[in-house]
Amino acid sequence: MTEAEATDPVVDDLKAQLSDLFLAEAVSVYGDGPVVSFVGELLTDAETAFQILESRLESRGYLPILKRVKDQDTILMAPAPTQKRASRPWVNLVLFLATVGTVMLGGALMEGYNPLADPPSTLLRGFPFACALLGILVTHESAHFLTTRAHGMRASLPYFIPVPFSTIGTFGAVIKMESPIKDRKSLFDVGLSGPLAGLAVSVVVLVVGLRHSEVMTYLPDAPLAPLGTGLLVDWITEIVLGPLRDDSVVVLHPIALAGWFGVFITFINLIPVSQLDGGHVGYAFFGSAHRLVATLIFAGMLVLGLFSPWWILWAVVIFALGGLRHPPPLNDITPLDRKRKVLAMLSFVLLFLLGTPRPFG
């Protein structure tokens, strides 16, 4: 790190861009980029300053990064990341078609399809399950994609993940951010849009599927594989099927099973840790305190491993893929507005309504 020299034309130009927005008390230069750090005091609100600086610096190939450390404002001006090569939509299409096949196969296997004995046309038994589950996943990822574009950011098309010969045939889908997240509002909107949209479709699918499900008397020797249900699923089941006797079990229709998986996927995604959708919501709400919150939740997931070993597996996978630290947006000063804070708290309540300590068995 070196103190900026007044004769440095790049630093002088960057400093001039914020002279009416920021009172700089110290200027430092990092690396060959260079990255220029200005420490001082904002003369306007952070949201306005960011929008103006973003516009001014775009032609210079720089991005503004705003943060506040110990009540002191800092503006970093860093070279904008180079534009990545154009995406290849054919890759997304191939993965989606492969996922259609594996999900349909999973649905057919649940319907008793035997790939060694039955004709290929029997795979169509899996169509209702595939249509329902993929409808949920496509809605979830489309909401992320459209919200990202609405905030003026770039994102890839969804990458679906096929898993042959598994119960559901997929590990879901992901989109890749191709530009930095601008602020906490954008981070919040992108994070929450997918789970809410996917959950809305999941509830509709669950209701339709429950109407085609069968209620049976529980038999101790029956080869059942019970699925855990949270409060929301219990309420929906009671509304659709009416009060059930203590010795009753619901044999889910494949469409209802797709709805259950949709609710479960939403629950996992809303956990406010790492790079999950809930992690985006959590950071947008808690800010720098999010790391402590994520650590406590991670420890809680390990404790839930006493009820189901799946929790330990999910905790390990989440930690391996994203750790517990969430990267901040470019403008990390402007907090969420009141409306988004209320929605964030409601998402935490929703997490409680969707979850169950023992989802499988």
Per-residue pLDDT reduced to its tens digit, 303-342: 999 888 889 998 998 888 788 889 999 999 999 999 999 9
Contact 260, 252 (CB under 8 A): yes
Instruction: Verify that 42 and 125 share a domain, yes or no.
Output: no
Greatest alpha-carbon pair distance for the chain in Å reads 85
CA distance 271 to 293: 11
Boundary-marking domain end, from 49, 79, 109:
79
- pTM for the complete prediction? 0.90
126 contacts: CB under 8 Å, gap ≥ 6: 103, 104, 105, 106, 107, 108, 109, 110, 111, 113, 254
Please count the structural domains in the chain: 2
| Whether residues 261 and 327 fall in one domain | yes
Same domain, 138 and 274: yes
Residue 360 lies in a domain: no
CATH number for the domain spanning 31: value is: 3.10.28
Q: By the 8 A CB rule, do 210 and 236 touch?
A: yes
**pLDDT for 129-187, tens place per residue?**
999 999 999 999 999 999 999 999 999 999 999 998 888 899 899 998 889 999 999 99
Q: Contact, 196 vs 143, CB < 8 A?
A: yes
- For residue 252, which phi and psi values (nearest 5 degrees)? -70, 135
d(CA 335, CA 169): 40
The verdict on residue 359 lying in a domain is no
Residue where a domain stops, chosen among 37, 59, 79: 79
301: tokens are 């997931």
Statement to judge: residues 102 and 188 lie in one domain: yes
Q: What is residue 336's DSSP assignment?
A: -
Query: Which residue range forms the structural domain that includes residue 59?
Result: 2-79
Q: Could you tell me if residue 233 is inside a domain?
A: yes
Whether 51 is covered by a domain: the verdict is: yes
Residues 5-33: tens digit of each pLDDT? 444 788 888 889 998 999 998 998 987 77
Q: Are residues 50 and 118 in the same domain?
A: no
243: left (phi over 0), alpha (psi -120 to 50) or beta: beta
CA trace torsion 342, 343, 348, 353 (10° rounding): 110
Do 326 and 240 lie in one domain? The reply is yes
Q: What confidence category does residue 225 fall into, taking pLDDT thresholds of 50, 70 and 90?
A: low
What pLDDT does residue 81 have? 83
249 and 123 together in one domain: yes
Residues 123 and 33 placed together within one structural domain of the fold: no
Average pLDDT over all residues of the chain: 89
CA–CA separation, 154 and 250 (whole Å): 44
Based on the domain organization, do 50 and 146 belong to the same domain?
A: no
In a domain, 68, yes or no: yes
The token duo for 244 is 């059930």
- Domain assignment present for 361: no
